[in-house]
Structure 1
């Protein structure tokens, strides 16, 4: 029997955690590849070690005692944290593996086109993409490098430093040729507000550039638009824009290929220099692996 601060056997803790989740010795045994009686013995051993019952046995099943419920929450949290940290260490231990975090829009419209060039030059580096809309919600343990639009002193995710990928960037009103075929040409900035549909993202993270800000910064007359299409996802709005739903604000370097191929066109001739720049986000106080250093050097030298 354990004494003092000795921990119960891990096999007992695993059996208890599985049984607490399933409420059944039989189902826990199936998960752990043990017999029902083997799981029951592990639980009994744990209860004897702790000196109190963890389950109430009924003719129709099991239920956790108050002590059992609390202990189950503790064990599940510890096992989850241990699993997460183990996965993180294994990932970091592979110097040729790279996890890139990006917004869904950046990942799908820009990064996905760039990666084949990088992987052709560095076929030994394994790439994994993590999409998170708001960089402030990133878990620093889950990724190596991030690619996001960064606004200094306004959108500064904690624990990260930013290096600009593009030396300059501008924001224009863009739409698809399909939209213009359906609704006719856009004569000027006033006509856009009066007769056309503006795509509006309802997302606090993107509030640093709104249609009203764009108009007023360019000294164009502003009034509430006659028609809007709203969503809380910029990626959804961009897909809807390319499908001919309306006119959106687009970052010209980010959408360079869509503009070059004619998938998107400029709805107006105006362009506003962007306060935000597509940037490489690096976790502070972390050793840069070979894969991280290689990708950083390739990205910043080839895309500036």
Structure 2
């Protein structure tokens, strides 16, 4: 089909005309459209020039539509309403097949990335998008369907979010790679860990409740500054360092279960500590979740239940 020789009027002029004709007032149109009255007047004039005929009678007592304006108003209003309905329907259909998840870089790379292929095999028509942030408060809740973040049970839920724990309880364990033990030898006890091994320490003000000092207290031992340490403010980098054999790290057993099963990580010491923070699904309030989000929520909680039973 060849392109028409005559261009359609600009959509913003048509929208402005529809509002002005509905109110029979440039002033009220400007208020509804958040424009100045002069901007409304200029757009109407541009449309009339484009059509080569007046659409309004400008009278002392106000505006009225010319016969051409009446016909054009009916056509424009019908088309804009149809466009609005069809756009809403397309957005709804798109939402049915799109899932946007928000999570930390660590959860996304170490845990979530391994789970999503399983979910997508069962839901092959879904498109999945992941937003990474260390803190859910740094994201607008309108940007995603579901969030996955660690949260302290005693703390209030982040504003605008409803929280559901993914696991009933979680344990903090010490982990390292098998290659690290091969190079540095076994860890005999906690004091040997501090003296002869490298501790991987996260300096993270979001999760400063996951600390070596707390872990040592829970194990009934005295903690002091380790002889060798690698420190970073990125928990993702910390876990990558553990996988690469650079030292011993603290981690959530549920989050690292696939790495432990695959043999890429192993428990460095037998002691485990009950975690004061748990992984939560975070769902925005006051918004009906799309089918994709409901499907993922149901699938994930069922998966987490099976995974916890296997620990």
Q: Which has the larger radius of gyration?
A: 2
Shift of 1:93: 5.8
Q: Deviations over 1:110-148 (max 9, x none)?
A: 111111111111112211111111222121121110011
Find the counterpart in structure 1 of residue 270 from structure 2.
269
**Counterparts of 2:278 and 2:243 in 1: how far apart (Å)?**
23
Deviates more, 1:89-98 or 1:260-269: 89-98
* Distance in 2 (alpha carbons) for counterparts of 1:156 and 1:276: 13
Which secondary structure state, in structure 1, belongs to the residue aligned with residue 214 of structure 2? helix
Contact 1:91/1:97 (8 A) holds in 2: no
Offset at residue 92 of structure 1 (A): 9.1
Q: What does 1:230-249 correspond to in 2, within 5 Å?
A: 230-249=231-250
Distance 1:248 1:206 in 2: 14
Deviation at 1:270, TM superposition (A): 0.5
**1:8 aligned partner:** 39
Contact 1:174 1:248 in 2 (8 A): yes
Instruction: Report the Cα distance in structure 1 between the residues aligned to 2:163 and 2:303, rounded to whole angstroms.
Output: 17
Tell me, yes or no, if the aligned pair for 2:202 and 2:233 is still in contact at 8 Å. Answer: yes
5+ long unaligned stretches in structure 2: 1-15, 17-25, 28-35, 44-86, 306-311
Match in the other structure for 1:158: 159
CA distance in 1, matches of 2:91, 2:209: 38
* Deviation at residue 237 of structure 1 after TM alignment: 0.7
CA RMSD of aligned residues (A): 2.4
Is 1:259 paired with 2:260? yes
Instruction: Give the count of matched residue pairs.
Output: 227
After the TM superposition, which of the residue ranges 96-105 and 164-173 deviates more from structure 2?
Answer: 164-173
Residue 287 (str. 1) matches residue 288 (str. 2): yes
How far residue 185 of structure 1 moved from its aligned partner, in angstroms, is 1.3
Q: Does structure 1 residue 138 correspond to structure 2 residue 169? A: no
Deviation of the 1:8 alpha carbon: 3.1
Q: How does 1:36-55 map to 2 (within 5 A)?
A: none
How many angstroms apart in 2 are the aligned matches of 1:189 and 1:155? 35
Partner of 1:107: 108
Task: Tell me, yes or no, if the aligned pair for 2:104 and 2:148 is still in contact at 8 Å.
Answer: yes
Alignment partners' CA distance in 1, 2:210 and 2:93: 36
Asked whether the 8 Å contact 1:150–1:162 carries over to 2, the reply is no
Question: Which residue pairs with 2:206 in the alignment?
Answer: 205
Distance in 2 (alpha carbons) for counterparts of 1:207 and 1:155: 17
Residue 155 of structure 1 deviates from its aligned partner by 7.0
2:163 and 2:282 in contact (8 A); partners too: yes
SS at match of 1:173: strand
CA contact (8 A) 2:171 2:254 kept: yes
Counterpart of 2:223 in structure 1 is 222
Mapped partners of 1:111, 1:128: distance in 2: 12
State yes or no: 1:278 paired with 2:279.
yes
> 1:168 corresponds to which residue?
169
Contact 2:153–2:278 under 8 Å retained in 1: no
d(CA) in 1 for partners of 2:258, 2:301: 19
Do 2:232 and 2:238's aligned partners in 1 also have CA atoms closer than 8 Å? yes
Gaps of 5+ in 1: 13-85
Question: C-alpha displacement at 1:7, in angstroms?
Answer: 5.7
